[in-house]
């Protein structure tokens, strides 16, 4: 599903670039233009990361865990290859900061459902230990999330006046 969505996204990006009608994604030149964009690069890297993750999960070979993690990190960090991060004057700093910010958001969103499930289903003594362990790991994640958010805001806005305008 993600691969199909990525392919559609590339076609739609090309259609937007040529100010085309609904038929634009069916024209070769639209796709050629779309493939030259940072969005196409980002979506292709995302697809590669997801592919590695799914392949590793499907075939569960002995050392698959690092490949699952690498694939997931590549997929999440690929967002930094397009949009504001790619267009920023401080490209590498913004891209790296956005990748860290996105990883921390992913950590939080990915943790909430399992944490809620544990708290609901496990005895209170076990749930407390798991929540404490999560909290110890969450503190550095929050610090990274906030720091990255501030750096991104400064890089994008560049002044307090820019926020008000």
Taking CA atoms, 19 is separated from 12, 14, 31, in Å, by 10, 9, 13
pLDDT tens-digit profile of 41-54? 888 998 999 888 88
pLDDT digits (tens, 9 = 90+) for 65-120: 788 888 888 888 888 888 777 777 777 788 888 888 888 888 888 888 989 998 89
> What span, in angstroms and rounded, lies between the C-alpha atoms of 77 and 72?
9
State the burial class of residue 104 (Cβ atoms within 10 Å of its Cβ: 0-12, 13-18, 19+): buried
Distance CA 37, CA 45 (A): 13
pTM equals: 0.67
pLDDT of residue 129: 92
Residue 161 pLDDT exceeds 80: no
């Amino acid at each position: 599903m993600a691969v199909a969505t990525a392919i559609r996204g590339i076609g739609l990006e090309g259609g937007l670039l040529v100010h085309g009608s609904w038929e634009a994604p069916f024209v070769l030149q639209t796709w050629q233009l779309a493939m030259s964009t940072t969005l196409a690069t980002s979506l292709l890297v995302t697809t590669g990361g997801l592919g590695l993750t799914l392949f590793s999960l499907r075939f569960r070979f002995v050392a698959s865990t690092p490949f699952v993690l690498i694939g997931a990190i590549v997929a999440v960090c690929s967002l930094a290859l397009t949009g504001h991060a790619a267009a920023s004057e401080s490209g590498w700093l913004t891209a790296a900061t956005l990748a860290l910010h996105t990883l921390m958001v992913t950590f939080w969103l990915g943790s909430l459902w399992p944490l809620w499930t544990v708290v609901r289903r496990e005895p209170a003594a076990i749930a407390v230990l798991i929540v404490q362990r999560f909290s110890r790991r969450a503190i550095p994640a929050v610090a990274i999330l906030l720091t990255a958010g501030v750096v991104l805001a400064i890089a994008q806005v560049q002044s307090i006046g820019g926020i008000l305008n």
